[in-house]
Structure formats: C-alpha cells, structure tokens
Amino acid sequence: ATRWQDIQGMNNWKGVIDPLHPDLRAAGIRYGEFVEAVYDAIDMEVESEFIYYSLYGKSDLFPNVGVTSDYKITRYLYSTLVVEGWRTAFDGLHKRSSTTWIGYIAVSSDQETRKLGRRDVAVILRGTKASDEWYVNSEFMMKELKLLGLEKPLPRVVEGFLSMYTASDASKMFGDSSLRDQIFKEVNKLVEVDYKDEDMSITFVGHSMGAGMAPLAAADYGFNKPRIAEGRTVMVTAFVYGAPKTGDGEFKKRAEESCKIIRVVSTGDIVTLIPPVSLTPPGIYQHVGVEWRVDWSSSPYVQDLGFGMRCHNLELYLHCIAG
C-alpha cells in the first residue's frame, strides 16, 4: 500500500496509530475540523426562520468559521426527521417530520490532491443539534438493513440512524430526497464524471450522532459504489469521533467487509457506550472498525473531566489528537 492508503486504513491502521504517524494526526485534525465547521455555522437562533440550517452558503462556509482548507464544498446535505408514536403526544399529532442541515460534501483541490496523493472526497455529518434529533436518537430499537445485500441473517442497525439516513418528505424544504440519495448522487458524480480517471478516497466523517450514521453510510457506499475500472483505486473509509454503536454483529461483519472504519474514542466519553447495555440485550450492539484511543488526562491544559458528556466534546478530541 502507498502511504495514503495506509492512512485510509488499507492495512487496518497497523503501525500508524501507536506510535501516531504525523499523516494520521493531520488527517484526524483535518476531518474533525470539517465537522466542527458545521457546528460553528448552524443557525441555532430559536426565533430564526432558518433554525437548524446553515448561516452561510457553500463557498462562504470555511472562511466564515475560520477553517483554512484546500477543499471545495460541492453540496450541502440535509436529513429528514420523522417523529412518531409517543414522542408526538404533546403536539396532538400522530406523526410529524422536519428537515435539518446535517453536513456537506467537499472535494480536495488539485494542489491538495497532489499533496495527499489522491483526490479526496469528504462526506461530513455533524452530531445532534435539533430538538427532534434527540427524539430520533432515542429510537434504540433495531431495524433490518437491506442495503448491504439480502443474505440471511440480515444486519440490524439503530432504527433512528436508519430513519435519518433514508427518510424523505417532499413537502419540507430540502426534504425531497433522502440523505442517502443526496450522498450517492453527489459522490457518484465526483467518482464517475468529474474525476473519473483518478485514484480517490471517499471519506465519511462524523461526530456523535454523525459518527453513528457515518459507518452506515460508508458501508452502504462501499457495498453499492459504481464499478471501478481495473488499475484505479477508490477507497471508502470512515473517520468517526465519539461514536455510539450503529448496529449488531452482522452489521459489523458486513461494514468491515465493505469499507475501512477508524473510531476515535476519548477517555470517559459516555456516548461511546450508547445504546446502553441496560436498555438492550447484551451483545446485540457492537462497535465497528479499529479503535484509536485518545486521552485528555495526559494534557497539562485539561482539567480532570471524569466521565460523561464533557469528555464527548469534539474540540477536546482534536486537542488530544494534536498532542
């Protein structure tokens, strides 16, 4: 494997996590900052007509949030949230839906591509912000997944993540196509048309809720991607930070066959234990991919955070990676 393929997990990150290779450190910071950009740009003003949408257009996002990057955002991504059952009781409704801005797709410039050794497409998915996302995230029931082949037993994944990935509602702004369809349409265009003769990496990146969905999206794309010409490399990888568990053992098996996944875990991060064993049969939910553990306790700049949500902060993760 070439160096970039090692960093994207061709050999399951053997020899590059411990000791930490500078290129993996750089990738971990770069992709994490791409997610942080969404947090910095999302409209959280309660009275705003555009709450949970981006404050900036695609070309203005990076400059306005202070991200210096040789990547160009080619598409914003939106997720449709469907809330039903007991969660709608207070509204007097049986079901409601809404859409939120959940991330974007960006591609490396020619100059950055030469530096990286391949054309990189980054699919960025943020963590929970909208109130309805909290409801959907609490749907720990498992649902069969038919996107990775129909061989039995079918893999099962968190119902809430699958719903946010596949739902659509044409009556809502940006809701006419599912998050899955948006990703496939844009990434396929980049792979098959815009850069059809180049070696590429398709990197799915997520934090928190987005880290639960990124392995699902990466496994799906890895399994269902277009046919790649002989002699050309198109690697599919997920970089996830503070990830909850996405699915069961069968999902883990098929996901790890379809793509490469590296899971950055901070000491004391409670979200990495979700769904909790107390609410699910033991052994049902399993983590996927290779673990990259980071420890804030060795930093002189971080107070004792103990255990909980404070250990889940993405900026804390990036501080630990930076060293």
Domains of the chain by residue range? 3-322
Annotated active-site residue in 120, 199, 248, 269: 269
Active site residue 70: no
Residue of 69, 98, 207, 312 marked active site: 312
Q: 35-45: string of b/e by CB count within 10 Å (b at 16+)?
A: bbbbeebbbee
> Which pLDDT does position 92 carry in this prediction?
47
The yes-or-no answer on residue 23 being catalytic is no
Residue 283 backbone zone (phi > 0: left; psi -120 to 50: alpha; other: beta) = left
Q: Which of 79, 178, 201, 208 is catalytic?
A: 208
For the question of residue 312 being annotated catalytic, the response is yes
Q: Is 258 helix (H, G, I), strand (E, B) or coil?
A: helix
Give me the pLDDT at residue 277, please.
64
Residue 303's pLDDT is what?
67
Q: What is the pLDDT of residue 228?
A: 95
**Whether domain 3-322 has CATH 3.40.50.1820:** yes
CA pair distance 59, 146, nearest whole angstrom: 36
Which residues lie closer than 8 Å to 58 by C-beta, 6 or more apart?
73, 74, 75, 76, 104
Question: pTM (2 decimals)?
Answer: 0.94
Contact at 8 Å (CB) between 52 and 45? no
Per-residue pLDDT of the chain (323 residues; tens, 9 = 90+): 579 999 999 999 999 999 999 999 999 999 999 999 999 999 999 999 999 999 999 999 999 999 999 999 999 999 999 876 544 445 544 557 789 999 999 999 999 999 999 999 999 999 998 878 877 777 778 899 999 999 999 999 999 999 999 999 999 999 999 999 999 999 999 999 999 999 999 999 999 999 999 999 999 999 999 999 999 999 999 999 999 999 999 999 999 999 999 999 998 898 998 887 656 665 689 999 999 999 877 766 666 666 567 889 999 999 999 98
What does the pLDDT read at residue 237?
Answer: 99
